[in-house]
A and B are shown apart, each in its own frame.
Chain A
């Protein structure tokens, strides 16, 4: 029997949906939507604007739950054994072609990375390419400046989730932090977190550490934690500097054990990656991930 791709897709989606329903009935904890404290049905500040249709039930939620989560990272030994599950395989340059995106997904499949981290325009393509692979799709939002209003961040987040993203890396409002407008910073993050959690996605908050003083980094981490973020993340990779061991250590201290820390920007080698994990990182964002994995293999 010949099936056109569209029919095949819709069949796969239907089967996925039914499997998820059955697993849910059996009380399988992996399929239970992530418990988001105080999560509302949608972004409360921008509910009206976020009118895009949702199809969360067809998402690869079940696969994503095997990705490293802040709460289930016991020690660095696990990271040595399962390094790929700690890596977001990243391609964010503006001129990334469709062929390069396809290659990114192919590599992610091959190595079993936690996610591919891409611009929102590429999320749908990646979701299709990675269906059934166990590799999630991570979308950046308000990237890399973080300088759009909260309602735009929420809309962008909702669209990325609709397209299949299950992790969102949002840039906080850095200018507001610099102006000590902490309520605005917290509310901005919280609104995006609510949009994520009510759709079963996780939210990472990029603080762009290279633009901040140490006090500001600590404050940013505290605000992100208060706002319910799942991770804090060092850098966009487009700022004046990338991840440093100092920043990762500081951020780990600031958020405590319950929130993840993602180190990103300038991580080029296996040594870099392991140093970040030892300093307290629970996720690595890298475009050199294939090289890192090859070095890891020759190191072991």
Chain B
């Protein structure tokens, strides 16, 4: 029995992902008992239908990956995803406002989505895109996410200039209270990557579909040959 699968959001958010690939993704998620599948909104209904009653969550990316839409559009997109059956939303924060010192706008934007999630009994994960931020900005973004009511802070989209690092995960973990999770995502390829990030404080890992199967097979080899 895999110990690491329960940490993993089995992820397929490529622009050219097809419904057939989403069907595979959901079958794999059931077989290996991942925490969730993470998909784009266009595939939420399909994934929710396939995973109904399995205990595996459907996570949907919102304002993804640039966070370049207004709060209204994010909210509309989020409501549509929740109605479609998503139970977790991975929301890109408003980076332009953060970079311009308009922290109030960053918080308001995220708070609107977090409230909507909680009204639907869903989780809200705030994506910070750490590779574009200074350490001070990462800390500030965490504080704003916590104030906005986010359930997780998440390192990266996987589309930015860099993915999850051990240092960033440790910084995020130190900054947010224990009640808030830390999701490491982006560039997680091996079992050792995954373990290092969990040891640094990650409570969830976003891993692309191929890599998560690879990580599980590496884990199997290690468990069988300790």
Contact = CB atoms under 8 A, between A and B. Distances in A.
B89 interface: no
A193 to B, nearest CB: 18
Given A122-B96, A148-B80, 7 more contacts: A94-B129, A121-B70, A146-B15, A156-B73, A171-B15, A175-B16, A175-B42
Nearest to A177: B16
Contacts of B133: 95
The majority secondary structure among interface residues of chain A is loop
A176 B42 CA distance: 10
Interface of A: 49, 52, 92-99, 101, 119-122, 140, 143-149, 151-152, 155-156, 159, 163, 171, 173-176, 178-179, 208, 211, 238-239
Interface string B36-47: 000011110000
B177 interface: no
Interface stretch (B17-25, B112-120, B197-205, B216-224): B17-25
B147 interface: no
B72 A145 contact: no
Nearest to A96: B96
B68 A94 contact: yes
B40 A147 contact: yes
A163 B42 CA distance: 25
A120 B68 CA distance: 6
13 contacts: A95-B99, A96-B96, A97-B99, A99-B100, A119-B66, A122-B68, A144-B15, A144-B65, A144-B66, A145-B65, A148-B77, A159-B73, A175-B42
A94 to B, nearest CB: 4
Contact of A179 (B19, B66, B70, B132): B19
A295 B70 CA distance: 36
B94 A121 contact: yes
B19 A148 contact: no
B76 A239 contact: no
The majority secondary structure among interface residues of chain B is loop
B95 interface: yes
Report, nearest first, the 10 A-B pairs whose CB atoms are least far apart: A119-B68, A147-B40, A94-B66, A97-B99, A98-B100, A145-B15, A147-B42, A95-B95, A179-B18, A174-B16
Contacts of B132: 94-95
Given A95-B132, A156-B73, A175 B17 contact: yes
B91 interface: no
Give the contact-size bracket for chain B. Answer: 35 or more
Interface of B: 13-20, 40-43, 64-70, 72-73, 76-77, 80, 92, 94-96, 98-100, 102, 129, 132-133, 159-160
B68 A143 contact: yes
A148 B18 contact: no
Given A147-B41, A159-B73, A94 B65 contact: yes
B76 A155 contact: yes
Contacts of B15: 144-147, 171, 174-175, 208, 211, 239
Contacts of B77: 148, 152, 156
Contacts of B16: 174-175, 178, 208, 211
A140 B13 contact: no
Contacts of B17: 147, 175
Given A173-B42, A179-B19, A97 B69 contact: no
Contacts of B41: 147-149, 152
A95 B175 CA distance: 22
Contacts of B42: 147-149, 173, 175-176
Contacts of B68: 92, 94, 119-122, 140, 143
A232 B100 CA distance: 34
Contacts of B69: 119-121, 156
A144 B132 CA distance: 18
Contact of B66 (A143, A163, A239): A143
A143 B159 CA distance: 12
B99 to A, nearest CB: 4
Nearest to B96: A96
A199 B73 CA distance: 18
